[in-house]
A and B are shown apart, each in its own frame.
Chain A
Amino acid sequence: DAGVIQSPRHEVTEMGQEVTLRCKPISGHDYLFWYRQTMMRGLELLIYFNNNVPIDDSGMPEDRFSAKMPNASFSTLKIQPSEPRDSAVYFCASRTLGEVGEQFFGPGTRLTVL
């Protein structure tokens, strides 16, 4: 398996622009997570899905952030409009329902908003 795939790996945009981050989870995984990581705040859970359904979006910072999972193999995280404080590394992770349920992370998208 190729693991969790994210695109793009790097994104540089200007304030006010729309940004879309993409994720393909590991085939057969029931759960998908979107995280944001910064030096100041560490790893923060933004939202997670179970069987394509959003379960908890309490970590989404504000209405500028939205996430979708139209099918089991694809999810997007959208920021509109983007702001400089959104600059961070965004990770997507997936896992199975198993007892341990360790999460497998994608390589991340490094977002810079100028």
Chain B
Amino acid sequence: GQNIDQPTEMTATEGAIVQINCTYQTSGFNGLFWYQQHAGEAPTFLSYNVLDGLEEKGRFSSFLSRSKGYSYLLLKELQMKDSASYLCAVKDSNYQLIWGAGTKLIIKP
């Protein structure tokens, strides 16, 4: 079967750094997405990785290791507005998106 695992919830402090992990087992791999979803709102696109390595975009970075079936989202200089759920999604061999359950990130002052 197809499976994506993420921690259910994480807590971090304003100004700190947090890493949200995602491991996947899918039928094929054609890219991995990270989406942010604030409570009561729609998911919004954050990042995309298709090759191994780190993609940096401002305070957010995303890393991919295809051989390990592993990705992480790194958030630096945390702000209160970063409190949200972070969804990992993998594009499988049929180019279908398989979604993780999401990680709820709580930022404390």
Contact = CB atoms under 8 A, between A and B. Distances in A.
Interface string B96-109: 11011110000000
Interface in B30-65: 31, 33, 41-45, 48
A42 B88 CA distance: 12
B48 A43 contact: no
Contacts of A105: 42-44
Q: Give the size range of A's interface with the partner.
A: 10 to 19
Interface stretch (A16-24, A66-74, A79-87, A96-104): A96-104
A3 to B, nearest CB: 9
Contacts of A102: 33, 45, 48
Given A100-B48, A102-B33, A102-B48, A107 B42 contact: yes
Q: Give the size range of B's interface with the partner.
A: 10 to 19
A15 interface: no
Nearest to A56: B96
B87 interface: yes
Contacts, number: 33
B101 A42 contact: yes
A91 B40 CA distance: 12
Contacts of A60: none
Contacts of B96: 45, 56
A107 B45 contact: no
Interface string A33-60: 0000000001111000000000010000
Contacts of A103: 45, 97
A45 B92 CA distance: 14
Given A56-B96, A101-B91, 6 more contacts: A42-B100, A42-B102, A43-B99, A45-B96, A105-B42, A108-B42
